Chains A and B, each alone.
Chain A
Amino acid sequence: MNYVIAIVLGVFFGFSLNKAGLTKYNKIVNVFRLNDMAVLKFMMTALVVAMIGLYGLRGLGLVAFPAVPTTYVVGNIVGGLIFGVGMALAGY
């Protein structure tokens, strides 16, 4: 059952990425060239919608958060720094 949910969620996830144009090389690279902010608009809209929804639902006691990604400052920043190189090179 969990697998069915995962597939369906994945389909919508992939669909939204495709429609936002994130499957295109130039969209991803142009956000780093600072001349097309579509990726940021997409990411931040998703963040805001999900933040409001999730914290609202938790406030109402309807949902418990799963294990959140752990914070280890140096690892997160170093990982992010290397990740950016790969992202700007590959464009995906």
Chain B
Amino acid sequence: MKWLINQIRKEEWSPYAAGILLGIVGILTVVLSQNLLGASGGFENLAAYIGKAIDPKNMYFNYVMPAAITFPVVLLVGVFFGGMLGALSSGTFKFRSMDDEQWKQTIGKQPWKRWLLLFIGAIILEYAAGIAGGCTSGLAISGGMLLVPAAFLFIVGMFASGIVTALIVYGKKY
């Protein structure tokens, strides 16, 4: 029992252990709710409220991603608290300005640079998730575990351009 508590308190688990936990959560999602894990879809459902207010006849926000409190939206709420619980359990919970040691060393110390690039990066992420039909969790992991070809095409594309982008951002420090 004490061993278990100590394991849970660790800041970082072996990726294999955390992967097994996620795999079980993935199975339970299908078994219990007939849904798939996903993150980007929930944001699109929420964005649809704004999208429909601006353009009520928009096809995408009416049919593809309707404005509603869907399963992924509620899942996102849980993810927020789950991440918080993880940080609290290891005692690393704190408010921070998105700083990261590695980022400071390579790109610069100014927080606004981080926020700007993060904002642009996030727009690109969500836009691309809309095109591909899912993000890392919704398509790559949830699709992959059902052996959907789309998931593996997506992973190939993601790594190809991710490596090139990291090469450009990091330059000589790659």
Contacts and interface: CB of A to CB of B under 8 A. Distances in A.
Interface of A: 2-3, 5-21, 23-26, 29-34, 38-39, 41-51, 53-55, 57, 62-66, 68-73, 75-92
Interface in B1-18: 10, 12-13, 15-18
B22 A16 contact: yes
Interface in B129-174: 129-151, 153-166, 169-170, 174
A14 B34 CA distance: 19
B23 A82 contact: no
A5 B21 contact: no
Contacts of A39: 15
A31 B77 CA distance: 27
A81 B29 CA distance: 28
Contacts of A57: 27, 31
A50 B23 contact: yes
B86 A18 contact: yes
A75 B22 contact: no
Given A16-B21, A18-B87, A47-B144, A5 B32 contact: yes
The A contact surface, by secondary structure, is: helix
B53 interface: no
A31 B26 CA distance: 23
A9 B29 CA distance: 7
B55 interface: no
4 nearest interchain CB pairs? A10-B78, A80-B157, A79-B132, A14-B82
16 contacts: A6-B78, A7-B78, A9-B32, A9-B75, A18-B86, A26-B101, A31-B162, A44-B19, A45-B16, A46-B26, A46-B141, A51-B144, A69-B138, A73-B149, A75-B132, A90-B121
The B contact surface, by secondary structure, is: helix
A83 B157 contact: yes
B140 A43 contact: yes
Given A45-B16, A45-B19, A68 B132 contact: no
B79 A14 contact: yes
A77 B102 contact: no
B23 A46 contact: yes
A82 B26 contact: no
Contacts of B159: 32, 84
A12 B25 contact: yes
B75 A50 contact: no
